[in-house]
Amino acid sequence: MSRSRIPEFYKFSVTNRLRVLYEREVLSEAEYHMLMDGKHLLDAAKADRLVENVIGAFSLPMGLGLNFLVNGKDYLVPMVVEEPSIIAAVSSAAKVMRSAGGIRVDADEPMLIGQIQVMDVAHPTRVRQALLARSEEILNLANSLHPKMVSRGGGARDVEVHLHSAQGARGDMLVVHLIVDTRDAMGANLVNTMCEGVAPLVEKITNGKVFLRILSNLTDRAMVRARVEVPVAQLGNGTFSGEQVRDGIALATEFAAADPYRAATHNKGIMNGIDAVAIATGNDWRAIEAAAHAYAARDGHYTSLTKWYANEAGNLVGELDLPLKVGTVGGQVQSNQAVMIAHRLLGVESARELAGVMAAVGLAQNYAALRALSTDGIQRGHMTLHARSVAIAAGAEESQFDAVVEKLIASGDIKVWKAREILDGMTEPAGATTGEGEPTAAFTADSVEAGAGYAKIILLGEHSVVYGKHAIAAPIPLTIRADVQRQESGTTLFIPRWGVETELHPPTATDNALHKSMDLILQRLGVRDEPMRVEVYPHVPRAVGLGASAALAVAVIRGVAEAFDIELDDARVNELAYECEQIAHGTPSGIDNTLATYGRPILFRKGELPGSAPAIREVHPARPIPVVIGLSGVRTLTAQTVGRVRAAWQAHPERYEPIFDQIDQLALAGVDALAQGDIATLGELMNIDQGLLNALQVSCWEVEELVQIARENGALGAKLTGGGGGGAVIAVAEADRTEGIAIAMRRAGYDTFITEIR
C-alpha cells in the first residue's frame, strides 16, 4: 500500500483522517490521541520554556501534502500553513508528478559557513596567505570545541579567506570563512561557538582586530537540486491541451527569469511549500527564506529559482536549485510534540533527506501555481478556499458548511457578515448524512427534489451497451440541481463546487464540452439570446463513472424550462440530454441520460438503428439490494475509455464481440437475479463482469484494490461502474456486511457511501 497515496483524503473528517493514519501505522496510538484531543502538544507552560515573555501558545493548521514520490520513496509531508489552497495544490501537483515517475532530488553534504570579520589589517594579501597556511591549526581548534560533532562525522572542514575592498577609514576588510559540516543539526549555535572560539587565534595570526563572529544564512554549501519530467500527455485537461499547459508554464518561467517583480511572487510560491514543511519540522524558516532569496540574486539580478522548459521529447521538465540547510535533531525538534509527530509522519532519516523532500515540495508548489496562472487563473480556486475560511469564521456547522460556501461564492460578497446572514436564513437540510458520510435514509426516486438530474450506477453491461447490448442501471442518492434566474444582460454559468464561472457565448472550436453543451441546451429551448444566470449545485463527483455530465445536462434543461415556462415532458428532456452526452462522450450509449432523466432502475438497450429509440424496461428488485460505493480517487473521461475500447474492437472485432456477448448475457441474467432478490447470484454475475471489463483494459490498480477489499470483507460481488480507467467501484452484500466493507475501504484511504437499489 502506498504511504502517500490516500485517495479522497480531503473529503474525510479530521477524525477519519487521523484514524486512517493510525490504522496504516503512520501514527502511533499516543500520537493519534495527542492530535485528536490537542493535549500534550505545545501549551503555554511549555512555550514559556522556549521563548521570553510568553502569554500563550499560538496555533496554525497542520495538514498533509499527499502523493509525493521522491527518489522512488513515498512521503506524507506535514505542512504548517494558514493560507488556503497551498496543501491542496501541492498534493494535486505531486499526484501528476507521481504518475510521471516522481521527483528526483540530490542534496549536498550539509555545510554551514561561519564568518569572522577582521579589521585594521596592515597587509591584507600577506595576512590572507598566513591564515591559509595555518588553516589546519584553526580547524583543530574549532573541532576541539565540539568533539561530539566530530565523533558523528561532522565538524569544521575548511578555511577560506575573502578580501573586501576598503569602504571606510579602517582600510580593507578580511573575512575568514569557517566551513562546518553540522550533520543532521541545523548548526547555528555550533558554528557561532566555533567562530567565537577561533577568533583569538585569528587575531594573533592577522595582528588585526576581530569584530563580528557569526554564521551566514547564505547556505550555498548545502545546495539541493530537484528535477521532474512530466509527459505532455499528462498535462492536458478538458479545456487546455498538454502542449498549451506545457508552453504556458515555460512562458511564465521566462517572465520570472527576466523580471524581478514577477520573480519575487514566483519564488514566494516556491517558498509557500518549503516554509510550511520547515515550520512543521521545527526548522528556521526565516533563515531558509533569506538563503533562497539571496541565492536568487547571486548574479546581481533577482531571478527565478526554478526553470521549466520542453525537452527534445516534448515533455515538460522542471528544475529547482537552491540552498537549503535544515536539521532533524536538536532542541526545536525534541521540545515540541507536534514537531516530533511531524517528523514521524514524514519519515526522513537525515537532514539531507529532509532537504531533498523540501525541495521536491517547492518544485511541486511552483508547478501548481504556474499551471493555475497559465490556464484558468489562480483567483477562482483562491476565492473558493477563502469562502471556506469565512464560513468557518461565521460558525457554520458541518451539515451547513458546503451550502454556506456555495451561497457565499454565488453572492460575490465573501464576508463574514454575509455568511452569518446566510446561516440565519438556513434550516437543517433534508437528507443529512452521518458522520461517516452515508445517507441516513435509503434513496428512492420520488425523494429527489424536482428539477434535478439523477446520478447512477451500472450494475452490469458497461461498454458492451455501446454496441447494442443490454445493461442494468440504477439511481443513487446523489443529484445535481440547477437554479436558473433571468437577469438584465449576459448569460453566466456558475458551478461553485467545481470552480466554474464563465460567460456563455456562441461556442468556438476551442471551447470545452461543458460550454458547448450549455449552448446547445439554450439553442434547442429557444432562449439562446435571453440573459440569465445558471447556478448549478452538484452533489455528484465528476469523472468517476456516476453520470455527472448527464445529471448536469438534465438539471440545466429542467432549470431553464422552469425559468422560462417551457413545457417539456421527460422524453424531450432525455432526448436533449442525449445530444449533450454526444458532445461530452462522442458515442454514448444513452444509458446515463436516460437514468438521469427518469431515476428508476432499468434494463437498457441502445436503439438498433441510428436515431432510433432505445429499448427501456423498468427493473423491480424483489427486495432492497444493499450497495457500497467506493471512489478510487482517479478521475477519468468516459470518452477516452470508450474510444480505446472502440479502437481495439475495430482492430480485432473477432476478439471483442464474444466479450460483448458474454457481458450481455450477464446483464440479462442479472434481471432475473434482481427479480428474485438473489444477491448472491447478482454478486457472482458482477464478479464475472469485472473480469471481462479488465480484459477490455478499462480497470486500474485502485479499482482492483477496492474490488479486492470489498470481496475480502463480505461483498458477494464487486466491480467498476461506468467508463472505467478509475472512477467508482460498486459492491453488493447483505445489509449486515455493508458497514464493514465501507470501513475497510476507508481504512485503505478511499471515500465511500452506502445506498440501496429498490
CA distances, 310 to each of 92, 102, 313, 364, 562 (Å)? 21, 17, 8, 17, 50
CA 329 to chain centre: 30
pLDDT at 610 over 80: no
Catalytic member of 31, 184, 275, 284: 284
Both 333 and 270 in a single domain? yes
Catalytic member of 46, 382, 415, 516: 382
CATH number (domain holding residue 387): 1.10.8
CATH number (domain holding residue 349): 3.90.770.10
Whether the Cβ atoms of residue 111 and residue 222 lie closer than 8 Å to each other: yes
Both 335 and 404 in a single domain? no
Nearest to 750 by CA among 732, 734, 727, 733: 727
The predicted structure's pLDDT at residue 28: 85
Both 206 and 271 in a single domain? no
pLDDT category at 431 given cuts 50, 70, 90 is very low
The predicted structure's pLDDT at residue 283: 92
Q: Residue type at 495?
A: I
Nearest to 758 by CA among 386, 447, 390, 408: 447
pLDDT category at 157 given cuts 50, 70, 90 is very high
Query: Would you call 664 a catalytic residue per the annotation?
Result: no
The predicted structure's pLDDT at residue 614: 85
Give the number of other Cβ atoms within 10 Å of residue 173's Cβ.
20
As a whole number of Å, the end-to-end CA separation of the chain is 35
Q: Which of 200, 215, 230 is the last residue of a domain?
A: 215
pLDDT category at 14 given cuts 50, 70, 90 is confident
Both 184 and 264 in a single domain? no
Whether the Cβ atoms of residue 47 and residue 57 lie closer than 8 Å to each other: yes
Least reliable range by pLDDT among 27-41, 316-330, 551-565, 696-710: 27-41
The predicted structure's pLDDT at residue 221: 93
Evaluate whether residue 657 is within a structural domain: no
Cβ neighbors of 236 (< 8 A, separation 6 or more) are 242, 243, 244, 245
Higher pLDDT, 595 or 240: 595
Give the number of other Cβ atoms within 10 Å of residue 609's Cβ.
7
The predicted structure's pLDDT at residue 389: 65
Whether the Cβ atoms of residue 545 and residue 478 lie closer than 8 Å to each other: no
Both 129 and 164 in a single domain? yes
The predicted structure's pLDDT at residue 382: 53
Evaluate whether residue 44 is within a structural domain: yes
All cell numbers assigned to 619: 427493473
The predicted structure's pLDDT at residue 155: 93
Whether the Cβ atoms of residue 65 and residue 273 lie closer than 8 Å to each other: yes
Tell me the average pLDDT across 670-688.
95
CATH number (domain holding residue 201): 3.30.70.420
Catalytic member of 46, 73, 177, 268: 268
All cell numbers assigned to 168: 571606510
Evaluate whether residue 42 is within a structural domain: yes
Higher pLDDT, 562 or 423: 562
Q: Which of 400, 424, 448 is the last residue of a domain?
A: 424
CA 188 to chain centre: 35
Tell me the average pLDDT across 104-115.
94
pLDDT in tens, 708-757: 999 999 999 999 998 888 899 999 999 999 989 998 988 888 888 888 88
Residue 25 is classified by DSSP as: T
Both 315 and 236 in a single domain? yes
CA distances, 640 to each of 92, 630, 644 (Å)? 21, 21, 6
Both 240 and 362 in a single domain? yes
pLDDT in tens, 215-257: 999 999 999 999 999 999 888 876 678 898 899 899 989 999 9
HEC sequence for 348-403: CCCHHHHHHHHHHHHHHHHHHHHHHHHCCCCHHHHHHHHHHHHHHHCCCCHHHHHH
CA distances, 318 to each of 246, 302, 425, 492 (Å)? 10, 19, 49, 37
Cα(199)–Cα(141) distance, integer angstroms: 10
The predicted structure's pLDDT at residue 433: 34
Evaluate whether residue 433 is within a structural domain: no
Ranked by mean pLDDT, the top range of 195-209, 423-437, 574-588 is 195-209
Both 388 and 373 in a single domain? no
Whether the Cβ atoms of residue 88 and residue 11 lie closer than 8 Å to each other: no
Structural domain for 158, as ranges:
111-215
The predicted structure's pLDDT at residue 538: 81
pLDDT in tens, 371-413: 988 776 544 555 665 676 677 777 777 667 777 877 777 666 6
Cα(433)–Cα(430) distance, integer angstroms: 9
Both 249 and 329 in a single domain? yes
Catalytic member of 82, 83, 398, 570: 83
Both 118 and 102 in a single domain? no
pTM above 0.75, yes or no: no
Cα(717)–Cα(732) distance, integer angstroms: 6
Tell me the average pLDDT across 9-32.
81
CA distances, 738 to each of 3, 7, 20, 744, 746 (Å)? 26, 20, 19, 10, 12
All cell numbers assigned to 564: 422560462
Residue 623 is classified by DSSP as: S
Cα(426)–Cα(67) distance, integer angstroms: 37
The predicted structure's pLDDT at residue 434: 31
pLDDT at 692 over 90: yes
The predicted structure's pLDDT at residue 412: 63
Give the number of other Cβ atoms within 10 Å of residue 169's Cβ.
5
Nearest to 23 by CA among 743, 671, 521, 754: 743
Whether the Cβ atoms of residue 379 and residue 408 lie closer than 8 Å to each other: no
Scanning 696-734, the segments in alpha helix (DSSP H) are 701-712
The predicted structure's pLDDT at residue 42: 74
The three-point CA angle 101-103-107 to 5° equals: 145
Query: Would you call 421 a catalytic residue per the annotation?
Result: no
The predicted structure's pLDDT at residue 717: 96
Evaluate whether residue 304 is within a structural domain: yes
Scanning 183-284, the segments in alpha helix (DSSP H) are 188-206, 242-258, 260-280
Query: Would you call 268 a catalytic residue per the annotation?
Result: yes
Sheet of strand 717-721: strand arrangement: 717-721, 728-732, 625-631, 751-757
Q: Would you call 679 helix, strand, or coil by DSSP? A: helix
Domain count, the chain: 3
Q: Which of 377, 396, 411 is the last residue of a domain?
A: 377
Evaluate whether residue 605 is within a structural domain: no
Task: Tell me the pLDDT of the chain averaged across its residues.
Answer: 86
Sheet of strand 173-181: strand arrangement: 155-164, 173-181, 111-119, 209-215
pLDDT at 34 over 50: yes
Give the number of other Cβ atoms within 10 Å of residue 649's Cβ.
19
The predicted structure's pLDDT at residue 574: 92
Residue with cell 472512477: 727
Cα(580)–Cα(546) distance, integer angstroms: 16
Query: Would you call 382 a catalytic residue per the annotation?
Result: yes
Both 187 and 248 in a single domain? no
Nearest to 730 by CA among 695, 670, 693, 683: 683
Give the number of other Cβ atoms within 10 Å of residue 508's Cβ.
8
Residue with cell 510550511: 276
pLDDT in tens, 440-484: 333 334 444 556 888 899 999 999 998 999 999 999 877 888 889
The upper half-sphere exposure of residue 744, i.e. CA atoms within 13 Å in the direction of its Cβ, equals 18
pLDDT category at 21 given cuts 50, 70, 90 is confident
Cα(38)–Cα(239) distance, integer angstroms: 43
Q: What is the DSSP string of 94-150?
A: HHHHHHTT-BEEEE---EEEEEEEEE--S-HHHHHHHHHHTHHHHHHHHHHT-HHHH
How many residues are present in the chain? 758
pLDDT category at 430 given cuts 50, 70, 90 is very low
Pairing state between β 717-721 and 615-618: unpaired
Whether the Cβ atoms of residue 176 and residue 160 lie closer than 8 Å to each other: yes
Evaluate whether residue 555 is within a structural domain: no
Q: Would you call 661 helix, strand, or coil by DSSP? A: helix
Both 207 and 234 in a single domain? no
Tell me the average pLDDT across 325-331.
85
Evaluate whether residue 643 is within a structural domain: no
